[in-house]
Structure 1
Amino acid sequence: MRIMLLLAAAAVALPAPVLAWGKTGHRVIGAIAQPYLEARARAGVKRILGAETMAEASNWPDFMRSAPDPFWQRTAGPWHYVTVPPGKTYRDVGPPPEGDAVTALQSFSATIRDRKASLADKQLALRFIIHIVGDLHQPLHAGNGTDKGGNDTRVTFNGRPTNLHSVWDSGLVDNEQLSYSELATWLGARITTEDARVWMTADPNVWIAESTAMRDRIYPATGEPLSYQYVFQNKARMEERLEKGGVRLAAYLNTLFGPVR
């Protein structure tokens, strides 16, 4: 596909990080976003995805990372995260040469707006946009540049050896023992009109700044086993990131499919 060739030209081979939010978290964000879509965005999503829901589309970029094609094994890996060292902002550091989640979001958005782009390119682009917005609301996908977004920080969670990234990808979410639709319904019902108004921003710099600030508060003491106390301390944080991710996904798509300014 044309977009693959354009983006691959700037990429370098890098190891792929652990997936973000896991399947449940990404689906929750897609489901929460749905009722906040404006008419143009609803129609645009339907035109591109057909019967495929945003919850269904949200995990496709992670699923495809097992495909043997070099595009998936090398090129697309950096598009799931950003790196922001402590004390810096994303505006301070910008993207690396191989690109990152922000540059991918920009490129895929241009594809959605391109009247000459094929339906297949637009489907790839929209699935990635849905996924990337979710990724940028997972605090460890705004990595500090020292431990691969928590992948190298070994911990035990509920008595099992894992890493901090995995705890935030799926451990905290799956600990609720809810389906994605149950969790999305519960969280969506808590979002007030005022919450949605305040959170409704399509600026990735805002999302990244929030994730970076939270990232620096969720690292446990070295050797500390993570169990009920860690869940108690971070459950509300995790839920808020999912809620905001859904509202911001809608905000981004409303802007993307809205009138050209």
Structure 2
Amino acid sequence: MGTIRFLGGIILLLSTMTFSYAWNSVGHRIIAQIAYNHLSKGAKRDFNHLIHSMDREYRPQTFVNASVWLDGLRAQDVNWYNTFHYIDWFFSEDSSPLPSTQQINALWAMQQAIKTLKSNKASDFDKGLSLRILIHVAGDIHQPLHAASRVSHQHPAGDLGGNLVELGKNEVGNNLHQYWDKGAGFLSGQRHYNRQQIIELANRIEQQFPCNPKRMDLSPEHWAKESHQFAKNFSYNLKPCTVPKQAYQDRAIQISKERIALAGCRLAAMLNEIDLNLKKPSY
């Protein structure tokens, strides 16, 4: 992995872990499918090439399936990417002092990935790695609990984005973070979806939330701030050990669908913009 130059020298900073992944694999694949639907012809060609530039080192992936690659590393006991998945913007409802936000976080990861993709010197392998990170983290940052952590007397270091908030018995998740990773149940169907099923799920979401890439906000910081506000103003409106009521679940599902739609459309807009100035891969 010596070629991963932009990641060098930071392993010691990345010891903090969360207990959940973010949108589950279905959510990430839907986001990537929506993005792929709206890539230009040239962007599809260039980014498909970069995705496959890593095939010698890793199992070959399509653009859509590469969206879950970063999560798959954890199963291989590769944990030094863990803080790429979230940004802990802390808040408190009981005036507890707030810890400092970690410098190596989702926004940092996206900034570095974008910088590498735009570089005229980076190799196709490095750009392929950066693309896989960007596809995944752009999805993560739209999950409200990946941009917030509540600090309290009980949890003075934060509740790990709701991972420490246990819920009453329900069919979706054991804790608040897991509940939202599964889109409040929207993403809790069958375990495995084939390519056509992901396409159909993406199309259904786009029917409800149409995508216009030319009108998208391309600021990851703005995306994360939106998620933070959703977390503070809605996601955390559950007392520990309670079962989410139907009204909460219905609203959470609607928010999840909208965030997934926005993540995919914004990712497409960002990649189309990057591709305009991309040094063309060495086909």
With the length of structure 2 as denominator, give the TM-score of the two structures: 0.78
Which of 146, 162, 165 is the matching residue for 1:150?
162
Q: Which residue is 1:102 aligned to?
A: 107
Name the CA distance, whole Å, in 1 between partners of 2:112 and 2:126: 11
State the alpha-carbon separation in 2 of the partners of residues 225 and 154 from structure 1. Answer: 10
- Which structure carries more helix by proportion? 1
Give the CA deviation at 1:160: 7.0
Confirm or deny that 1:167 pairs with 2:169: no
> Aligned pair 1:67/2:80, yes or no?
no
Match status 1:182 vs 2:200: yes
Q: CA deviation at 1:42?
A: 2.0
TM-score between the two structures when normalised by the length of structure 1: 0.84
Is the 1:82–1:141 contact (alpha carbons within 8 Å) kept by the matching residues of 2?
yes
Moved more, 8-17 or 57-66: 8-17
Which SS does the other structure have where 1:133 is aligned? helix
Contact 1:25 1:180 in 2 (8 A): no
2:91 touches 2:149 (CA, 8 Å); kept in 1? yes
Q: Looking at CA atoms only, which structure, 1 or 2, has the larger radius of gyration?
A: 2
Asked if structure 2 preserves the Cα contact closer than 8 Å seen for 1:18 and 1:166, the reply is yes
Q: Provide the rounded CA distance (Å) in 2 between the counterparts of 1:35 and 1:142.
A: 27
Which amino acid in 2 is paired with 1:242? Answer: I
Question: Is the contact between residue 90 and residue 101 of structure 2 (CA under 8 Å) also seen in structure 1?
Answer: no
Q: Partner amino acid for 2:112?
A: S
Q: Comparing 33-42 with 14-23, which one deviates more in the overlay?
A: 33-42
Identity of aligned residues (%): 29
Partner SS state of residue 156, structure 1: coil
2:130 aligned partner: 125
- CA distance 1:15–1:205, change in 2 (3 Å): closer
Tell me what 1:90 maps to. none
- Contact 1:2–1:121 (Cα < 8 Å) also in 2: no
- For 2:172 and 2:224, locate their aligned partners in 1 and report how far apart those are by CA, in whole Å: 30
- Cα deviation, residue 248, structure 1: 0.8
Structure 1 residue 191 and structure 2 residue 209: aligned? Answer: yes
1:83 positional shift: 1.6
Q: Compared with structure 1, are the counterparts of its residues 19 and 226 closer, same or farther at alpha carbon in structure 2 (3 Å cutoff)?
A: same
- C-alpha deviation, 1:46, in angstroms: 2.0
Aligned residues: 248
